[in-house]
Amino acid sequence: MRSESGKLLIEIAHCPNVQKCLESTGDAQPCSRVVLSQGLKPLNAHQVPEPWSGSIAKAPLLFLSSNPSISETEIYPRWSWPEDNIRDYFEERFGKWIRDGLYTLQQNEGYSKSVPFWREVRGRAAELYQRENVKPGLDYALTEVVHCKSRNNEGVASAVDECANLYLDRVLSSSAAKIIVTLGTVAARIMTEKYRIDSDSRVHGPINIGGRDRFVVFLAQPGSNQARKFVTCVSPDELAKLRAAMKLAT
Domain ranges of the chain: 4-249
pTM of the model: 0.96
Which of 163, 7, 10, 6 lies closest to 79, judged by CA?
10
pLDDT band for position 27 (cuts 50, 70, 90): low
The pLDDT tens digits of the residues spanning 116-133 come to: 999 999 999 999 999 999
Distance CA(38)–CA(60), nearest Å, equals 33
The answer for residues whose C-beta is within 8 angstroms of residue 49's C-beta and 6 or more apart is 12, 13, 15, 18, 147, 148, 149
- DSSP symbol at 220: P
Distance CA(2)–CA(68), nearest Å, equals 25
pLDDT band for position 65 (cuts 50, 70, 90): very high
Q: Are 136 and 55 in contact (CB under 8 A)?
A: no
Supply the pLDDT for residue 29: 87
Distance CA(169)–CA(167), nearest Å, equals 6
Phi/psi of residue 16, nearest 5 degrees: -65, -20
Residue 72 has pLDDT above 70, yes or no: yes
Distance CA(138)–CA(160), nearest Å, equals 27
| Range in 45-59, 157-171, 173-187, 194-208 the model is least confident about | 194-208
**For range 19-29, the mean pLDDT:** 79
Phi/psi of residue 236, nearest 5 degrees: -55, -40
The pLDDT tens digits of the residues spanning 183-197 come to: 999 999 999 999 999
**For range 90-106, the mean pLDDT:** 93
**For range 141-160, the mean pLDDT:** 97
Give whole-number Cα distances, 123 to 5, 47, 69, 199, 208, in Å.
27, 28, 19, 24, 27
- DSSP symbol at 205: E
Give the domain 4-249 fold.
Uracil-DNA Glycosylase, subunit E (3.40.470)
